[in-house]
Amino acid sequence: MKGAALIITFFFSICSFLVGEEKFSPELYAFFNGTPRVPFEEEAEFFKETGYAGISQVYANGTGKKLEERVAAYEKSGVRVLSVYLSATKDPIKEEAVKGLANRGGMIELTVKKITPEVVESIRRTAMMAEGLKIKVALYPHAGNAVATMPEAMSLIGKVDHPNLGVMFNLCHFLKNEKAKDLEKVLSVAAHRLFAVSICGADIDGKSWGHLIQTLDQGNFPQIRLLKALRKMNFKGPVGLQCYAIKGDPRVNLTASMKAWRKLLEELNKGVG
């Protein structure tokens, strides 16, 4: 009888585990650098029809007027403007430049070309300002900058020491500057401050941007590996599609990438739920 009871207990434990496992399905946004140059309303409708959650890494100007116009157009279509793309300087980002994202789960993606005490302080003040608007600030490691790698981003986050400052993992820049074998380790170290991720098709040993930034259905980097790592760490943030300098029709490229994204999620979640 004891043996039977143990078997039954084990069976129900396994069933509970399987039922409790959730599908991994983060929202996918397209970077502004790969979008068709059309009016905001048409842009938003294209993303809605194609299946994207919206647009990310929009270039913001000083007044923020264009950002507010785009946000309004997107909200009418039921999609989102996720983030703006800015560079850290000795002067903090001004509220008027980003207020269009306020109270909408928005994000500032921040590159850092130079690190000085003044820049560190300005990033701290930017994080404080953005916190008041309920906007997150994520350092964007970029090849050639003072913050080019994930470890460099984490080091700067420690110096700034503000809870509203995190990091965005960018696959193309990671492959450019770091070792592909360290992917899981790098993500694990950043886990508590990993606010967002960007992906793209890429060649794992690529050197040029043409090899490191492709549509998601191209390249030999195993995208499923990245998604498995994110699922394992219970990542809940947004994912952006890097599109810089990809040749061809943006509509065709974005449609192909969305098809590949859905196929990846289907493969990843097979048998889950």
Which structure tokens are listed for 119? 């820049």
Asked if the model's pLDDT at residue 124 lies above 80, the reply is yes
CA angle, 42 then 47 then 49, to 5°: 90
pLDDT digits (tens, 9 = 90+) for 12-22: 444 444 444 57
Superfamily of the domain at 24-268: Divalent-metal-dependent TIM barrel enzymes (3.20.20.150)
Q: Tell me the two tokens of residue 244.
A: 């810089």
End-to-end CA, the chain: 32
What residues does 64 pair with on adjacent strands? none
Q: What is the pLDDT of residues 224-257, one digit of tens each?
A: 999 999 999 999 999 999 999 999 999 999 999 9
8 Å CB contact between 83 and 107: yes
Helix (H, G, I), strand (E, B) or coil at 81: strand
What residues contact residue 20 under an 8 Å CB cut-off, 6+ apart? none
* Model pLDDT for residues 155-213, shown as the tens digit of each residue: 999 999 999 999 999 999 999 999 999 999 999 999 999 999 999 999 999 999 999 99
Domain boundaries, the chain: 24-268
Amino acid sitting at position 48: K
pLDDT of 11 > 80? The answer is no
Between CA 72 and CA 261 the distance in angstroms is 27
pLDDT digits 0-9 by tens, 33-92:
999 999 999 999 999 999 999 999 999 877 899 999 999 999 999 999 999 999 999 999
pTM score, two decimals? Answer: 0.91
Task: Evaluate whether 235 touches 190 at the Cβ level (below 8 Å).
Answer: no
Task: Please tell me whether residue 201 adopts helix, strand or coil conformation.
Answer: strand
Average pLDDT for 135-139: 98
Cα–Cα distances in angstroms (integers) from residue 105 to residues 120, 132, 135, 215, 272, in the given order: 24, 12, 6, 27, 28
Residues 124-146 have a mean pLDDT of: 98
Read off the amino acid at residue 206: G
Q: With contact defined as beta carbons under 8 Å apart, do 153 and 126 qualify?
A: no
